[in-house]
């Protein structure tokens, strides 16, 4: 077993949980994905490796992984959630209202805001979520090329 699998197994044991093949598979799919997957897309990807995995198992596994701090849930301008494996370092999201594209970004300004808030209010910030929405460059170009639209 690899060192990363040993560490992952230790994380589950410390939380009083077992690292099942399904939990490992869901984490692997999320870690390998370049997208923010919803539960159904995650289920589709997992079925490639385990045809017997159910959508209910995916939902239960996501709840466990989220509770353990291994997975983040995001509402990216839609009525359902998207998930991603927790990564090192902060990042934030921009969602295009035209095509739905999600762009991840980081900025030192968030760290500055957290620091200023901590100093001014005496709070301890342990997390920050920022979600911006608007139109990506491609959608803006399409819109500019369109005829007589007055929408913003």
Domains within the chain, CATH numbers bracketed: 1-86 (1.10.10.10), 89-152 (3.30.1490.190)
Identify the band that residue 77 occupies on the pLDDT scale cut at 50, 70 and 90.
Answer: low
Identify the band that residue 152 occupies on the pLDDT scale cut at 50, 70 and 90.
Answer: very low
* 104 backbone dihedrals φ, ψ, rounded to 5°: -90, 145
pLDDT at 151 over 80: no
pTM above 0.75, yes or no: no
What are the residues whose beta carbons fall under 8 Å from the beta carbon of 129, sequence distance 6 or more? 74, 92
Identify the band that residue 149 occupies on the pLDDT scale cut at 50, 70 and 90.
Answer: very low
**How much is the pLDDT for 119?**
93
What average pLDDT score do residues 75-88 get?
Answer: 75
Q: Are 6 and 19 in contact (CB under 8 A)?
A: no
Mean of all residue pLDDT scores within the chain: 85
Q: Which residues pair with 133 in a beta bridge?
A: 95
């Amino acid at each position: 077993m690899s060192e990363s699998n040993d560490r992952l197994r230790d994380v589950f044991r410390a939380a009083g949980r077992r690292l099942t093949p399904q939990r490992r598979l869901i984490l692997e799919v999320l870690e390998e994905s370049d997208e923010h997957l919803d539960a159904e897309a995650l289920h589709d990807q997992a079925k490639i490796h385990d045809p017997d995995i159910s959508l209910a198992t995916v939902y239960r596994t996501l709840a466990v992984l989220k509770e353990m701090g291994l997975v983040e849930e995001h509402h990216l301008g839609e009525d359902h959630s998207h998930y991603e494996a927790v990564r090192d370092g902060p990042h934030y999201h921009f969602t295009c209202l035209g095509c739905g594209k999600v762009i991840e970004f980081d900025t030192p300004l968030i760290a500055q805001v957290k620091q200023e808030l901590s100093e001014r209010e005496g709070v301890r910030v342990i997390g920050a979520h920022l979600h911006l929405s608007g139109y990506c460059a491609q959608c803006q170009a399409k819109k500019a090329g369109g005829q007589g639209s007055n929408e913003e």
